[in-house]
Structure 1
Amino acid sequence: MTVVDLDSPGDTVIRPATLAHVFLRTNKFDEMVAFYKKFLNAEARFESSRIAFLCFDEEHHRIAISAMPGTSEKMPSSAGLEHIAFGFNSLQDLALAYRQRKKLGMEPTWCVNHGITMSIYYKDPDGNHLETQVDLFDNNGDATDFMLSDEFKRNPIGTDFDPEEFVRRLQSGEDLASIKKRPEIGTRGTPAHLLNKH
């Protein structure tokens, strides 16, 4: 075991090893728990009538949901967390999850090639945004280089796509590099649906 001098901690904070979980308070407890079980194919590691700890991997929990007294409806225009992102390993996995969710009646709210990720967004019953994504670069260095590029500076939001067209392109055998490449549309401001207050 490495001995750490806790009396001389240094001038910067040690970085976390991981982002461990997200905790959501709700006034729609049963609906939210059912949604996340379905959306993530998650299981409850613990569940009562007021709190649930859900997971989709080896971690003890990734999403905690609690029915907290006095919780009001979410205000979309207030400051706070904008979305939670869930990563997939391949474009095929992203497309398969999209089709599986569609079969379960879960339709995306926005599909966009950000340039660094191909992303399909949804909303949970409380109105929280959920991003499902695939990294488009093989390493983080190349992704960072793209984020420093003129293309990304002009359009840090991305280019929208039709998810069914995305599926068709994959099924056609089109080269994955071609599918990953973001069509450049020039300068883009904040999409109108992200400014929607409802």
Structure 2
Amino acid sequence: MPPTRNTDAMREWYRQVLGMSVVHATPSATAGHPDLPAIKITWLSNDEANHRMALVELPHLEPDENRASHPRVQHFAFEYQQLDDLLGTYQRLKRLGILPLLCTDSGAQTAFYYEDPDGNSVEVNVDNFENPWTSGEYVKNSPEFANNPLGIFVDPDKMIAAHEEGATHWEIHLRARDGEFAPAIPYDPRVMI
């Protein structure tokens, strides 16, 4: 998808995908500075915070077809509290025709990666250990993680089926690590570059 450089399109995508709401939007954050060009900004949040993300539309930018070869932010992530939330978001987005580029259980977390309208990689995940200390220790000390940080590719639809049959988050995680939820066609993580 080509970069949009359109704050309105980005705002709508993040509203649909992550349930973000607009905290404040301005056609020019520089209105008090007449010597500066207009910079359109929208502040978004998915909770009570003043913002979790800001979308900035700078004037005169051109899409960069070679952006993958330049230093940049590769992706950013949003964490859900429960596996139900992650799987529910997947189902909701799938109904809208928005599918992940990559889904994986890395041990510490289960993560689904999407592409926003500007081609940025957006990760939504859930901690498999359900607490940051334990998952942090796993990342620091696990030989399994050190050998395969990307993790095991998973098919969210297979995970949903197991969950609907009564499997717990931990059971789904263990079954994913055993390869039970492997996608029919393996993902190519290079699509996120």
TM-score normalized by the length of structure 2 = 0.78
Which one of the candidate residues 184, 190, 195 is aligned to 2:190? Answer: 195
AA in 1 matched with 2:81:
N
* Other-structure match for 2:103: 111
Which one of the candidate residues 180, 183, 188 is aligned to 2:173? Answer: 180
Aligned-residue offset at 1:184: 5.8
SS of the residue corresponding to residue 10 of structure 2 reads helix
Q: Spell out the pairing of 1:61-80 with structure 2 (5 A cutoff).
A: 61-74=51-64, 75-80=67-72
AA in 2 matched with 1:127:
G
Once structures 1 and 2 are overlaid, which stretch shifts more, 63-72 or 114-123? 63-72
Residues 63-89 of structure 1 show CA distances to partners (whole Å, capped at 9, x for unaligned) of 111210132325123222111111111
* Other-structure match for 2:81: 89
Gaps of 5+ in 1: 1-24, 186-190
Q: Is the 8 A contact 2:102 2:187 kept in 1?
A: no
Residues 107-153 of structure 1 show CA distances to partners (whole Å, capped at 9, x for unaligned) of 11111001100011101000111111100113333223322121111
- Percent of aligned pairs with the same amino acid: 30
* Other-structure match for 2:158: 165
Q: Spell out the pairing of 1:7-86 with structure 2 (5 A cutoff).
A: 27-49=5-27, 50-74=40-64, 75-86=67-78
Q: Is the 8 A contact 1:26 1:68 kept in 2?
A: no
Q: Is the 8 A contact 1:45 1:60 kept in 2?
A: yes
Which one of the candidate residues 135, 139, 147 is aligned to 1:154? Answer: 147
> RMSD in angstroms over aligned alpha carbons?
2.4
Go from structure 1 to structure 2 and tell me whether the alpha carbon gap of 1:197 and 1:133 turns closer, same or farther (over 3 Å shift).
closer
Q: Which one has a larger percent helix, Structure 1 or Structure 2?
A: 2
SS of the residue corresponding to residue 76 of structure 1 reads helix
Q: Is the 8 A contact 1:77 1:197 kept in 2?
A: no
TM-score normalized by the length of structure 1 = 0.76
4+ runs of 1 displaced by more than 4 Å?
Answer: none
Go from structure 1 to structure 2 and tell me whether the alpha carbon gap of 1:26 and 1:118 turns closer, same or farther (over 3 Å shift).
same
Q: Give distance in 1, aligned partners of 2:130 and 2:8.
A: 39
Go from structure 1 to structure 2 and tell me whether the alpha carbon gap of 1:42 and 1:180 turns closer, same or farther (over 3 Å shift).
same
